[in-house]
Amino acid sequence: MNDEPVTPPTSDPGEPRRPRRGRARAVAVEMEVEPPPTGAPNHHAAPTDPVEPPPTGAPNDHTAPADPVDPPPVATALEWDESPPTRRSAEQLFEVEIDIRQQSEQQPGPQAALGNFAAGVVRLIGENLQRMTNEQVERVNSMLQGVDLRDYLDPDFWKGIGMVLRYQIDEQINFIQRRQRGEYTTDPFGMDREIIEVARPFLSFMYHTWWRVQASGLEHVPAEGRALLVANHSGVLPWDGAMIATAVVNDHPAQNERIVRSLHLHWFTTLPVIAPTLAALGQVPGIPENAIRLLERDELVCVFPEGLKGVGKLFKDRYKLARFGRGGFVQAALRTQAPIVPVAVVGAEEIYPMFANAEGIAKLLGFPYFPLTPFFPWFGLLGVIPLPTRWSITFCPPIDTTRYGPDAADDPITVLELSEQVRETIQETINQKLAERTSVF
Amino acid sequence: MTRVLINGSTGMLSVRAAQLLSQQHEVIVLGRRPPAGPIGHADWLVARLDRKQMLELLRVEQIETVIHLDLLGFDGPLPDHETTVQHNVIGTMELLGACRAAGVRQIIVRSHGWIYGASPLNPLLITEDRPIKTNHSRGLLRTLGEVEQIVADFAARHPHITVTVLRYAPLLNQDGPVMTYLRSPSPQMLFGFDPMIQLLHVDDAACAMVAAVNQPAGGAFNLAPEQPMPLSQVIRRLGKQPAPAMGPLFDNQPPPGWPFEVDYLRYRCTIDPQRACRLLGWTAKYDMAAALDTLKPLSPEDEYAAGTRALNEFLNRRRRVE
């Protein structure tokens, strides 16, 4: 076993972040440019001042939007005209959106407003496209065949857009009706990909905007095949599992949107509403048989061996890893010969600073712990809003279990040694990340 | 060719099993009512036999395999507890005794896939080596735990008799308890919970029985479709909407119409059919969606197509007989 620091090379804080693709960029754009969709269609109002801030990607040397020189509108539109792509994915639509915004900046008032509205509509279509099946995307593409999406002054543009919007609304209604008829599929564990798609924008928001998560070492997570992610647990409510899953979906180099199956405390199975939600999102009760079964299905499984001792940790004990259970996770990894990827989460400890555990109330309610934070329970449900700390998630190099063989699972010495090795790796990485951190927020 | 006695004639499982088994074996169906459907070449006896009469039947007919389906609660409403104990527990003991005395070689007993109990600690798919729950408090499972224990004890003492226990997921059988629940206009579910459940088509259940007769492997077998489905989805696929019941969250009493413990509306008890797959070569031919679709009323076109298919099959069979 190596005792050298196991920090991956990419965790250098000075290194610029790898540019995110697709969904990630789309979110960034949305945060900064948001035209009021209701006011926009009223383009006779002629807004004299450019109300919208410059788009992110827009270089500022596109000057002189102030003097309306009345440029020939169609001619400028043509300047953006490349050959219209036959298959428009959501990402292409987002590019079109940025282009339209840039273009509309140089237009006189009413046309700028129209351009902004057009950009908003294109973005809406793009976001809807992300949730569609390939077949539906094909339908949309056939509707937009021959329509130049950058030329928003052309009536054909609006005709095409109108058709697509109506189709998408129909599809949304169909989606709800289909769910009502029970025509959807789940995996044997209850995971429902359609629900995950619905939850994804919210989780992405928490990931990018709320906690500004910095993920590094994602190349250590295999793009396919089984693997066991082992992470430190913290933060009263299990947000860390959701963020690890979001990191893999958004930032993994393979971009194949692998779903991380977290094992949660089986106590959550006894809670109404929460139990079916967790199941639909792909989380599984933390029972050794379940871990083995998932790994045998070549899934990416995430466990928090600290369990209750980690998630219900007091603020004063933050970033001190508790005991790693009895090494059950190592046994599961050895039995299925899955590599173990230690994961260090920094930032989640401070989202609910729990200064005391009201054990009496907890016992009364049948909860494993009842947190007292500066905001909960004093502010009621508002106290459940987590603090917007800055997070970092570090995926460490995988530990190979094949050199031990599956029978090593029955050898307590190997199991406990490996468990300790994983724990030390995570603790060291946490310490290192904490030293690098300048501010909690 | 084995000489088979099917004890219990109520319910579609008995009918379908008799139909399929009689194609290869000599089958007698014993019950207090005539079979509910065509049972192929099988013969039937309508009677309620006591110990001695049962022994005589087994001896004279030289029965080699006994299939025990005569358990109250599977195919109809459950009478009071005392009657159920008398029938299920004492009846099973008497039958086992008669089998032993008559030198029967194989006994197949029907059981329920929910015998393990619903619990948050259940693994996603339960295998047969998990201990069964013996202290069920409600419904058919209350006596079934005892029946399984008696059968297991009997099997341990009589190693020369192959004793097979078939733990079926709830059958989509017109009179079964779960079907009765699903047939109500809007079945009540527990608020905030949506357990995964498995439902088995009767034809698949009968096929498993045939496989168990043909390949006498002892022990318990879980029989269920491999892919479970959330209960709410089952109800929706039947064209209904589930109604949430809040009461059970406080008093732990099951909502009206639910014939089992309330925990089965809360936690999963889904079983793993791998052993049956390995040793009996059995897999469910109907997945959950297909099995549920068989309950839907057919559209006129589908009805016409199904009618044509059934007529052709029937005429072909008649031609072969002649």
Q: Long-range pairs for A261-264 at CB < 8 Å and ≥24 separation? A: A261/A189, A261/A191, A261/A294, A261/A299, A261/A300, A261/A301, A261/A302, A262/A238, A262/A301, A262/A302, A262/A303, A262/A304, A263/A287, A263/A290, A263/A291, A263/A301, A263/A302, A263/A303, A263/A304, A264/A238
Helix pair angle (A90-105, A109-130), 10° resolution: 170
Residue B274 has pLDDT above 70, yes or no: yes
Chain B residue numbers touching A273 (CB-CB < 8 A): 192
* Confidence band of A338 (pLDDT split at 50, 70, 90): very high
Q: Which of residues 259-288 of B touch A (CB under 8 A)?
A: 266-267, 270
Instruction: Give the pLDDT score at B235.
Output: 93
Nearest by CB to residue B233, choosing from A182, A269, A287, is A182
Q: Does the beta-carbon distance from B236 to A180 stay under 8 Å?
A: yes
Q: pLDDT value at position B321?
A: 64
The answer to whether residue A136 neighbours chain B at the CB level (below 8 Å) is no
The mean pLDDT of A258-269, rounded to a whole number, is: 88
The most distant pair of C-alpha atoms in chain B lies apart, rounded to whole Å, by 65
pLDDT, tens digit, 9 for 90 and up, residues B14-40? 999 999 999 999 999 999 889 888 888
B123:A186 CB<8 A = no
Residues of A in contact with B235 (CB under 8 A): 182
The predicted structure's pLDDT at residue A84 = 40
pLDDT, tens digit, for every residue of B60-112? 999 999 999 999 989 888 899 999 999 999 999 999 999 999 999 999 999 99
Summarised one tens digit per residue, pLDDT across range B198-232 is 999 999 999 999 999 999 889 999 999 989 999 99
Least confident of A37-46, A167-176, A414-423, B277-286: A37-46
| pLDDT digits 0-9 by tens, A180-204 | 888 888 888 889 888 888 888 888 8
Q: Which range, of A54-63, A169-178, A374-383, averages the lowest pLDDT?
A: A54-63
**In the predicted model, what is the mean pLDDT of residues B172-189?**
88
Q: Which residue of chain B is at minimal alpha-carbon distance from A289?
A: B123
CA distance linking residue B269 with residue B122, whole number of Å: 7
Q: What is the C-alpha separation between A110 and A346, in angstroms, rounded?
A: 49
Closest CA in chain A for residue B238 = A181
Task: Report the amino acid identity of residue A190.
Answer: G
- More confident of the two residues A422 and A384: A422
On chain A, the residues whose CB falls within 8 A of the CB of B237 are 181-183
Residue A150 has pLDDT above 90, yes or no: no
CB–CB contact A188 B230 (8 Å): no
Q: What is the pLDDT of residue B319?
A: 82
- Distance, in Å, from the CA atom of B38 to the CA atom of A118, rounded to the nearest integer, reads 68
Which whole-number Å values give the CA distances from B101 to B65, B154, B155, B156, B235, in the listed order?
Answer: 13, 13, 14, 16, 47
Nearest CA-CA distance, residue A125 and chain B, Å:
30
CB neighbour list of residue B322: distance below 8 Å, 6 or more residues apart: none
Smallest Cα distance from A117 to chain B, Å: 40
Q: Would you state the pLDDT for residue A19?
A: 41
Q: Is a pLDDT exceeding 50 seen at residue A13?
A: no
Q: Does A366 touch chain B (CB under 8 A)?
A: no
The reply to whether residue A276 touches residue B237, judged by beta carbons under 8 angstroms, is no
The answer to whether the CB atoms of A293 and B125 lie below 8 A apart is: yes
Residues pairing with B23 in the sheet: none
> Which residue of B lies nearest to A275 if distances are taken between CA atoms?
B193
pLDDT tens sequence across A55-91: 444 444 444 344 444 444 443 333 333 334 434 567 7
Q: How confident is the model at residue A375 (pLDDT cuts 50, 70, 90)?
A: confident
The verdict on A204 touching B (C-beta cutoff 8 Å) is no
| DSSP per residue, A89-137 | -HHHHHHHHHHHHHHHHTS-HHHHHHHHHHHHHHHHHHHHHHTS-HHHH
CB contact under 8 A, A276 and B230: yes
> How far B241 CA sits from the closest chain A CA (Å)?
8
Query: pLDDT grade, residue A8 (50/70/90)?
Result: very low
Q: Which of residues 158-197 of A touch B (CB under 8 A)?
A: 179-184, 186-190
A48 part of contact set with chain B, CB < 8 Å: no
Please count the other Cβ atoms lying within 10 Å of the Cβ belonging to residue A116.
27
Residue A43 DSSP SS3: coil
- SS3 label, residue B203: helix
Q: Which of B182, B194, B288 to mutate to test the interface with A (most CBs of A within 10 A)?
A: B194
Select from A179, A195, A269, A293 the residue whose CB has the most chain B CBs within 10 Å, as the one to mutate to test that interface: A269
Tell me, what's the pLDDT at A88?
Answer: 55
Residues contacting residue B49 through CB under 8 Å, at least 6 positions apart? B30, B57
CB-CB under 8 Å, B226 with A276:
no
Q: What is the pLDDT of residues B225-234, one digit of tens each?
A: 989 999 999 9
Burial B189-226 (b: 16+ CB within 10 A, else e): bbbbbbbbbbbbbbbbbbbbbbbbbeebebebbbbbbb
Pick A112 or B166 by higher pLDDT: B166
Best mutation target, A289, A296, A297, to test chain B (most B CBs within 10 A)? A289
* Mean pLDDT (chain A, rounded): 76
Chain B neighbors of A183, CB-CB under 8 A: 237
CATH architecture entry for B3-321: 3-Layer(aba) Sandwich (3.40)
Nearest to B27 by CA among B88, B73, B69, B76: B69
* A186–B229 CB contact, under 8 Å: yes
Q: Taking Cα atoms as reference points, which of B21, B250, B193 lies closest to residue A366?
A: B250
A68–B contact, CB cutoff 8 A: no
Say whether residue B124 is in contact with chain A using an 8 A CB cutoff.
yes
CATH topology of domain A9-14+188-351+386-436: Glycerol-3-phosphate (1)-acyltransferase (3.40.1130)
Sheet of B219-223: strand order equals: B43-46, B26-31, B3-7, B65-68, B106-112, B162-168, B219-223
The answer on pLDDT for A359 being more than 50 is yes
Q: Average pLDDT in the A326-355 region?
A: 90
Residues ≥6 apart with Cβ < 8 Å to A277: none
Q: If you search the block for the tokens 């069964």, which residue do you land on?
A: B132
Phi, psi of B54 (to 5 degrees): -60, -45
User: Which contiguous run of DSSP H or E holds residue B44?
Assistant: strand B43-46
ipTM rounded to 2 decimals: 0.81
CA dihedral B143, B5, B158, B156 (to 10 degrees): -30
Percent with pLDDT over 70 in chain A: 80
Residues of A in contact with B270 (CB under 8 A): 188
CA atoms within 13 A on the CB side of B304: 2
Give me the residue spans of the domains in chain A.
Answer: 9-14+188-351+386-436, 33-180
User: Which helix or strand (DSSP H or E) is residue B219 part of?
Assistant: strand B219-223
Contact B194 A189 (CB under 8 A): no
Residue A71's pLDDT is 41
With beta carbons under 8 A apart, name residues in chain A contacting B241. Answer: 180
Give per-residue pLDDT as tens, A214-236.
Answer: 999 999 999 989 999 999 988 77
Give the separation between CA B87 and CA A144, rounded to whole angstroms.
70
Query: Angle at CA B78, nearest 5°, toward B74 and B81?
Result: 120
Is the CB of B249 inside 8 Å of chain A's CB atoms?
Answer: yes
Beta bridge partners of B165: B109, B220
Most confident by average pLDDT, A310-319, B132-141, B243-252: B132-141
Find chain A residues with C-beta within 8 A of B118's C-beta: none
Q: Chain A closest CA to B197's CA: distance in Å?
A: 10
Q: How many CA atoms lie within 13 A of A154 on its CB side?
A: 16
Lowest mean pLDDT among A126-135, A360-369, B132-141: A126-135
DSSP structural state of residue A210: I
Residue A25 has pLDDT above 60, yes or no: no
- For residue A283, what is the nearest residue in chain B, using CA coordinates? B124
Contact at CB, A186 and B236, closer than 8 angstroms: no
Question: Do residues B225 and B286 lie in contact, with contact meaning Cβ atoms separated by under 8 Å?
Answer: yes
Residues 6+ away with beta carbon under 8 Å from B11: B36, B69, B74, B75, B76, B173, B175, B176
Q: Are A139 and A132 in contact (CB under 8 A)?
A: no
Task: Give how far B146 is from chain A: nearest CA, Å.
Answer: 27
ω before A54 within 30° of 0 (cis)? no
For A1, residues 6+ apart whose C-beta sits below 8 A from its C-beta are: A417, A421
Q: Which amino acid is at B257?
A: G
